[in-house]
Chain A
Amino acid sequence: MRYSALSILMNGLRGNRSWKPAWREPEPKAHYDVIIVGGGGHGLATAYYLAREFGITNVAVLEKGYLGSGNVGRNTTIIRSNYLLPGNNPFYELSLKLWEGLEQDFNFNAMVSQRGVLNLCHSDGQRDAFIRRGNAMRLHGVDAEFLDREAIRRMLPFLGFDNARFPIMGGLLQRRGGTVRHDAVAWGFARGADMRGVDIIQNCEVTGIRQEGGRVTGVETSRGFIACNKLALAAAGNSSRVAAMAGMKLPIESHVLQAFVSEGLKPYIDCVVTFGVGHFYISQSDKGGLVFGGDIDGYNSYAQRGNLAMVEHVIEAGKTMIPGLSRVRVLRSWGGIMDMSMDGSPIIDRTHIDNLYLNAGWCYGGFKATPASGFCFAHLLARGAPQETAAAFRLDRFARGYLIDEDGSGAQPNLH
């Protein structure tokens, strides 16, 4: 059923009794051309583009929990393509371009809202780094503007300009950046993939990867063995555990990142703003909640919960950046498990096993990457060669010394 204003009108008049399920709940088949492990944003997007772009529809997405139960529903919903390095920048710009046409494409309103993303800087060094980054973006045709203190004051007069420990010096603005209703991304991709014949199988945990003669033959799951020609891992947060089933050890640690939402408020802040000291970012959802977050807690974790010390630190930064937040109440905090890679950048690559493919290591960048990640992973699966914007996301770059380290903090994930 195509969604439209008319469909809402007709269904509304009929008491909303004729709406069909957004996706089927199929029983797993014995064999698929491609099995994707992980029914989060990236796995569903991969399935969607496999079907839509490459005509590969005999595909199953296996999800151990419910659809979109991982980080696609736990992030702070920000999209942007303000990346510095040539290995990253074209990929994230591809992603932003896909976001821009996504809703018409999959016929689901994910509320893509290009409200602008503003990164504040507070020192000469940060300013210079932003100018470098903004110019790298402009070289690739990506929109970027550098605003001075006065321009920022005109735009967001309520920031803590006057009593700040680290005065606001300027900021890098990407107007095409913004926010997206995160759950809807998973649902839109799921529905679009399902319509094209992909089986989305929830409550199906992969417990083993069966290999014969150096090839993957299928996966053991909580719902039995399922065979496949190609196996694609898209289980960020748990990548190491899934890859270990195929005997792989990854350049990844799992870390917990907390996120927060305030009580609903009338429009308070229009764009996404990030604080340059102490890691704080905030935007406001269409529903009115201020959605914000900070740094990872800093220790390896598979538990989706964080620590009070980091809660305090994030909120201290928030009140410093916007003093008026003081009396706003924080409603809820939660945690997501991040695949923190050793250089802060992702992996979309083949593996040492011929028909096993890996999509992992998304660090903080996973949500905004969702469409391009799916597109490029589907490309790799279908064509056997990397999509050109994802060509640097290789697994062997650590051994070869071609790292993609945006902030230069090296092989210690909790510093990225």
Chain B
Amino acid sequence: MTAFRLPHGGLIDRSRPLSFSFDGKSMTGFAGDTLASALLANGRILVGRSFKYHRPRGILTAGSAEPNALVTVNTGGRTEPNTLATMQELHEGLRAASQNRWPSLAFDIGALNGLLSPFLGAGFYYKTFMWPAAFWEKLYEPLIRRAAGLGRASHDADPDDYEKCWAHCDLLVIGAGATGLAAALTAGRAGARVIVVDEHPVAGGGLLSETAIIGTQAAADFAASCATELQSMPNVRLLTRTTVFAWYDGNVFGAVERVQKHVGFPAPNLPVERLWRIAAKQALLATGAEERPLVFGGNDIPGVMMAGAMRRYLNCHGVAPGHRVAIFTTNDSGYGLARDLEAAGIVPQAIIDSRRDAIPDSYSGSARVVSGAVVSDACGRKSLSSISVLQNGKSEELKVDALAMSGGFSPVIHLACHRGGKPQWSDEHAAFLAPSSQKGLALAGAADGTAGLQACLEAGVSKAAALLGSLGFTAKPQALGPVEGDIAAGPAKPLWTIPGIREKAFVDFQNDVHRKDITLATREGYGHVELAKRYTTTGMATDQGKLSNVNAIGLLAEERGVSPADVGTTTFRPFYSPVSFGALAGATHGKHFMPARMSPLHEWAKKNGAEFVEAGLWYRSAWFARDGESGWRESVDREALNVRKNAGLCDVSTLGKIEITGADAAEFINRVYCNAFLKLPVGKARYGLMLREDGFIFDDGTTSRLEENRYFMTTTTAAAIATMNHLEFCAQVLWPGLDVRLASVTDQWAQMAVAGPKSRAILQQIIDDDISNDAFPYLAARDVSLFGGQVHGRLFRISFSGELAFELAVLADFGEATADALMQAGDTHGIQPYGVEALSVLRIEKGHVTHSEINGTAVPADLGFGRMASSAKADFIGKHMLSRDGLSARDRLQLVGVMPLDTTAYFRSGAHILAKDADATLENDQGHVTSSCYSPHTGSHIGLALVKGGSARHGEEILIWNALHGEYVPGRLCDPVFVDPANSRLSM
């Protein structure tokens, strides 16, 4: 026989049956069940297979430390592998499947590994699979990979939503068991802002499996009344189904709330999970303690279970573990279970107590107690059939179908160790305790080594009161209780090595690490706790060693003949229990991965047929396709040619725009640019080159002096944010004495380039001021009036295309109307919108650089700006590093133009440059193409390139070498200006 549902009892709602399936078999449970309790109630004790030996495994725990009962739930994009049956709440229609077995859970071929186990000890794979070398990737590794892994994840997108939020509180209480509830009540009643978090669906923790009486209430009723009172307080937030997974610096805790993991059909207006970042002035860990398994032979056979878990299934879910139950314990925990089993009509076959004469007074049951004894082995294949009990050297066989074990308790101190604090071994508690005195965090109750309900309630009250006192609250501690009928399980001597073992005795259940693996690791020099972990994989399973670590440490200590204190622990790290990508990503993924910035002319571009391209966070218009055009190239060629022939309008609003004012603005600008700016006249614009302090070019742009002490700077789109931060650094940190103020106005202005021989005629139709060449010459920059004084604008006579060109800025809200008006005014002049692709063609034709050339490794001289870096200025950012030898070396990469010898040949950016007839080697590498395009003006592909000593190599024949695409194009280096080298068009 096996586990079964008791006819009555438990906190389940027997009026609400729920149907679910496991491995395709339909079953029924009740509201209030977990998947694990429902499976047990249906007699399913084989629920999984282990990682390496594929051993049959059953449900071991009733919580988040479960190593065995991992199942896959849901389907499609909602598939969740490795879901703990012990944490998954049952809901109508839940579909769960077992994992890591083939062809079926009951008959698993992989179990053959068990026969080979002598050869599959710790680290065996480091010693073999090396011959022949090629076989690792072709044969061994694929086999290992197929066999390894647990559940199978879906590649489908998740249809559900997630969200994130911040919360702040005076006191965060983690764990809503007896200690946590007592603390939260104390703090809540004192008026503090309290957040109480518990990973289970119902507050209560261990109280829910208790049969003790607190005051006048049953323990579970007491928990419910506490929760009700907490929920009634406006200053308290009780979060159930929420796991605090990490403690970060600044006393910020990460927590994940499973908002809709317990329902079959998530409501679309709610997230499935919610990430909380909780900033707490003080936090109290009331996380309880984890019961330790005992390392005896066959301790993994289905039917062997933690004593506390068995008690929870019994009292909370009304499930009995079996008919013939034995209890193997090192402490009093087993007696509480025995008493409750007896109350349910199941008298344990035996209580095997490793202590001598230690039956607690509070136990008055009738079970046979075998003192000073151990269970050396459990027997059975897919379920437990018997155990060997060893007492005084004599072995006795007991027929049982369930065995509870308790090897003592490990306080759950993980969170307290997430910020570098090391756990401290306590001989008194036979456990590792949290590092003492950490700012902002305290522990209470079982998490702090306290045993017994009464003591935990008192600890919760007093610790909370003390923490509140430190925050300036006056708490009036109110005693809770008294508690009757509690069998407190105090510390007991740990039992690491059990004598007489014949079968494999597991330390880490999921990873199949058994006692001999620990021995082997020590023998081979991997006895340091961190090396033992890495060599054997103990503690590296999905439970992160919640059950296994302390046993591994105890065994290592005995192997090495030292105390667990000398062995120490591995590092507790986030996450306390695994957290989904979905929860940690929240809404920030896919289209919402990063914000999208739209130009004020976005709608204008859209209605003119723009195709958009991502440019950093911006969407920029790439080109404007017209009917009948065969592809983007045709559109771009047309747009570029039209600018040179007629006029075009391009949205350049994405350029960074910075308003600079103040009495020292000129001095400031002169220091941040490498070229001279002090004498820039009012009404004029000038090209500026900005360096980093290490001498390399940072960004370029134009700055216009609109008034004596008012400047307007533009930056590139890509570096706009970095430039603003940099200028603020210069103004605030380097030269706070300068009278200068900066404002980013990128979003305030819609800016459009109107370029081409007819641009002036078009603009003059909407601009009230005279913009003739005399009145508004090249590099003029002034405020202008538009539409008969209706709109104020700024006009700059600057050109990126090499044509007569202007940039017109109007306040963002007037952008679209102004662009419309320009299109209308330009209609008879042949104006066409053009996008960044044509803009790029025009600038490459003109040899203008962008961040393709300003790549962070270029100094001014590399790009032909050598004389701009003013040696006359005493200081500017970047001046003092420029004189290093390497920055003026002859073979530096310098800007040149490049053209194919055959004008019909195609080449692309990223191709390298080789000297003609040179071998293709890295030593012969001469540089690379930085920008390239088809130039409709020249009728050829052209490019800009950075080439070693390039400025002196114009005219040299070279090979444009692109092995990635198999393109090898003979070409020639040339001047980088392909259009109007004399700049005659600029001043038309």
Using a CB–CB cutoff of 8 Å, the interface residues on chain A facing chain B are 3-5, 7-9, 12-13, 15-17, 19-23, 25, 66-69, 73, 86, 89-90, 101, 103-104, 107-115, 122-125, 127-136, 138-140, 144-146, 157-158, 160, 163-167, 181, 183-184, 187-188, 202, 262-268, 277-278, 284, 286-288, 303-305, 307-308, 311-312, 315-320, 322-334, 397, 399-403, 405, 407-411
Among residues of B, the one whose C-beta sits closest to the C-beta of A194 is B525
Among residues of B, the one whose C-beta sits closest to the C-beta of A323 is B157
The answer to whether the Cβ of B16 comes within 8 Å of any Cβ in the partner chain is: no
Report whether B573 and A334 are in contact in the complex, using a CB–CB cutoff of 8 Å.
yes
Report whether A165 and B136 are in contact in the complex, using a CB–CB cutoff of 8 Å.
no
Pick from B154, B248, B857: contact of A327, CB under 8 Å = B154
- Measured between beta carbons, the chain A residues less than 8 angstroms from B923 are 86
Interface window among B30-38, B453-461, B589-597: B589-597
- Measured between beta carbons, the chain B residues less than 8 angstroms from A318 are 581, 585
Binary per-residue interface labels of chain B (588-612) against chain A in the complex, 1 for a CB within 8 Å, 0 otherwise: 1111111010000000000000000
Among residues of B, the one whose C-beta sits closest to the C-beta of A191 is B525
- Measured between beta carbons, the chain A residues less than 8 angstroms from B928 are 132, 135-136
Pick from B153, B523, B534, B886: contact of A21, CB under 8 Å = B523
Given contacts A136-B922, A264-B542, A266-B152, is CB(A401)–CB(B887) below 8 Å?
A: yes
Pick from B158, B925, B963: contact of A323, CB under 8 Å = B158
- Measured between beta carbons, the chain B residues less than 8 angstroms from A323 are 156-158, 589-590
Pick from A107, A131, A266: contact of B149, CB under 8 Å = A266
Binary per-residue interface labels of chain B (950-988) against chain A in the complex, 1 for a CB within 8 Å, 0 otherwise: 000000000001111100000000000000000000000
Report whether A8 and B130 are in contact in the complex, using a CB–CB cutoff of 8 Å.
no
Interface window among B117-125, B299-307, B468-476, B488-496: B117-125
Report whether A308 and B248 are in contact in the complex, using a CB–CB cutoff of 8 Å.
yes
Given contacts A158-B155, A263-B542, is CB(A330)–CB(B584) below 8 Å?
A: yes
Report whether B149 and A146 are in contact in the complex, using a CB–CB cutoff of 8 Å.
no
Using a CB–CB cutoff of 8 Å, the interface residues on chain B facing chain A are 51, 74, 77-82, 118-119, 121, 124-131, 133, 136-137, 141, 144-146, 148-158, 162, 164, 246, 248-249, 252, 254, 275, 277, 418-420, 516, 520, 523-526, 528, 530-531, 534-535, 537, 541-542, 544, 571, 573-575, 578-582, 584-586, 588-594, 596, 613-615, 692-696, 851-852, 855-857, 881, 884-887, 889, 908-912, 920-925, 928, 930-931, 961-965
A89 to B79, CA, bound (A): 43
Pick from A12, A140, A325: contact of B119, CB under 8 Å = A12
Report whether A16 and B121 are in contact in the complex, using a CB–CB cutoff of 8 Å.
yes
Report whether B590 and A320 are in contact in the complex, using a CB–CB cutoff of 8 Å.
yes
A305 to B541, CA, bound (A): 21
- Measured between beta carbons, the chain B residues less than 8 angstroms from A202 are 528
Among residues of B, the one whose C-beta sits closest to the C-beta of A172 is B964
Report whether B593 and A165 are in contact in the complex, using a CB–CB cutoff of 8 Å.
yes
Among residues of A, the one whose C-beta sits closest to the C-beta of B837 is A124
Among residues of A, the one whose C-beta sits closest to the C-beta of B99 is A266
Most buried by B among A3, A202, A319: A319
- Measured between beta carbons, the chain A residues less than 8 angstroms from B961 are 135, 139
Report whether B133 and A25 are in contact in the complex, using a CB–CB cutoff of 8 Å.
no
Among residues of B, the one whose C-beta sits closest to the C-beta of A285 is B148
A411 to B693, CA, bound (A): 8
Report whether A19 and B524 are in contact in the complex, using a CB–CB cutoff of 8 Å.
yes
A158 to B220, CA, bound (A): 47
Provide a sorted-by-A list of 8 A–B residue pairs whose CB atoms are within 8 angstroms: A67-B528, A135-B928, A265-B150, A287-B148, A288-B148, A318-B581, A331-B542, A411-B692
Report whether A111 and B141 are in contact in the complex, using a CB–CB cutoff of 8 Å.
yes
A110 to B418, CA, bound (A): 30
CB distance from B335 to the nearest CB of A (A): 36
A267 to B153, CA, bound (A): 9
Report whether B523 and A327 are in contact in the complex, using a CB–CB cutoff of 8 Å.
no
Report whether A165 and B148 are in contact in the complex, using a CB–CB cutoff of 8 Å.
no
CB distance from A318 to the nearest CB of B (A): 6
- Measured between beta carbons, the chain A residues less than 8 angstroms from B581 are 315, 318-319, 325-330
- Measured between beta carbons, the chain B residues less than 8 angstroms from A287 are 148-149, 537
Report whether A139 and B151 are in contact in the complex, using a CB–CB cutoff of 8 Å.
no
Among residues of A, the one whose C-beta sits closest to the C-beta of B74 is A327
CB distance from A94 to the nearest CB of B (A): 13
A286 to B74, CA, bound (A): 26
Given contacts A22-B524, A316-B588, is CB(A138)–CB(B696) below 8 Å?
A: no
Pick from B146, B277, B910: contact of A128, CB under 8 Å = B910
Q: A264-B82, A328-B581 are in contact. List 4 more A-B contacts (CB 8 A).
A: A263-B81, A325-B153, A327-B78, A333-B246
CB distance from B719 to the nearest CB of A (A): 12
Report whether A131 and B908 are in contact in the complex, using a CB–CB cutoff of 8 Å.
yes
Report whether B130 and A109 are in contact in the complex, using a CB–CB cutoff of 8 Å.
yes
Pick from A19, A286, A316, A334: contact of B148, CB under 8 Å = A286
Among residues of A, the one whose C-beta sits closest to the C-beta of B858 is A408
User: Inter-chain contact count A-B, CB under 8 Å?
Assistant: 358
- Measured between beta carbons, the chain A residues less than 8 angstroms from B578 are 262-263, 329-331
- Measured between beta carbons, the chain A residues less than 8 angstroms from B855 are 408
- Measured between beta carbons, the chain A residues less than 8 angstroms from B963 are 134-135, 138-139
A326 to B154, CA, bound (A): 9
CB distance from A88 to the nearest CB of B (A): 11
Most buried by B among A5, A160, A323: A323
Given contacts A266-B152, A287-B148, is CB(A131)–CB(B909) below 8 Å?
A: yes
- Measured between beta carbons, the chain A residues less than 8 angstroms from B908 are 128, 131
Among residues of A, the one whose C-beta sits closest to the C-beta of B617 is A165
A403 to B530, CA, bound (A): 38
- Measured between beta carbons, the chain A residues less than 8 angstroms from B571 are 334
- Measured between beta carbons, the chain A residues less than 8 angstroms from B922 are 86, 89-90, 136, 139-140
CB distance from A413 to the nearest CB of B (A): 12
Pick from A139, A146, A188, A328: contact of B580, CB under 8 Å = A328
Report whether A332 and B544 are in contact in the complex, using a CB–CB cutoff of 8 Å.
yes
Report whether B149 and A267 are in contact in the complex, using a CB–CB cutoff of 8 Å.
yes
- Measured between beta carbons, the chain A residues less than 8 angstroms from B526 are 22
- Measured between beta carbons, the chain B residues less than 8 angstroms from A266 are 146, 149-153
- Measured between beta carbons, the chain B residues less than 8 angstroms from A278 are 593-594
CB distance from B984 to the nearest CB of A (A): 31
A140 to B931, CA, bound (A): 23
- Measured between beta carbons, the chain B residues less than 8 angstroms from A284 are 145
Given contacts A138-B963, A264-B82, is CB(A183)–CB(B136) below 8 Å?
A: no
Most buried by B among A67, A312, A317: A312
Pick from A308, A328, A401, A409: contact of B886, CB under 8 Å = A401
CB distance from B83 to the nearest CB of A (A): 9
A263 to B575, CA, bound (A): 11
- Measured between beta carbons, the chain B residues less than 8 angstroms from A111 are 125, 136, 141
- Measured between beta carbons, the chain A residues less than 8 angstroms from B696 are 408, 410
Given contacts A305-B419, A323-B589, is CB(A3)–CB(B127) below 8 Å?
A: yes
- Measured between beta carbons, the chain A residues less than 8 angstroms from B856 are 405, 407-410
Report whether B420 and A305 are in contact in the complex, using a CB–CB cutoff of 8 Å.
yes
Report whether B158 and A327 are in contact in the complex, using a CB–CB cutoff of 8 Å.
yes
- Measured between beta carbons, the chain B residues less than 8 angstroms from A165 are 590-594, 596, 614
A113 to B133, CA, bound (A): 11
Pick from A104, A128, A268: contact of B130, CB under 8 Å = A104
A140 to B127, CA, bound (A): 34
Among residues of A, the one whose C-beta sits closest to the C-beta of B81 is A265
A43 to B593, CA, bound (A): 40
CB distance from B565 to the nearest CB of A (A): 16
- Measured between beta carbons, the chain A residues less than 8 angstroms from B886 are 397, 400-403
Report whether A329 and B694 are in contact in the complex, using a CB–CB cutoff of 8 Å.
no
Report whether A288 and B149 are in contact in the complex, using a CB–CB cutoff of 8 Å.
yes
Report whether A13 and B118 are in contact in the complex, using a CB–CB cutoff of 8 Å.
yes
Among residues of B, the one whose C-beta sits closest to the C-beta of A327 is B80
Among residues of A, the one whose C-beta sits closest to the C-beta of B151 is A265
CB distance from B797 to the nearest CB of A (A): 29
Report whether A113 and B137 are in contact in the complex, using a CB–CB cutoff of 8 Å.
yes
Report whether B693 and A401 are in contact in the complex, using a CB–CB cutoff of 8 Å.
no
A141 to B490, CA, bound (A): 68
CB distance from B767 to the nearest CB of A (A): 35
Report whether B420 and A303 are in contact in the complex, using a CB–CB cutoff of 8 Å.
yes
CB distance from A401 to the nearest CB of B (A): 3
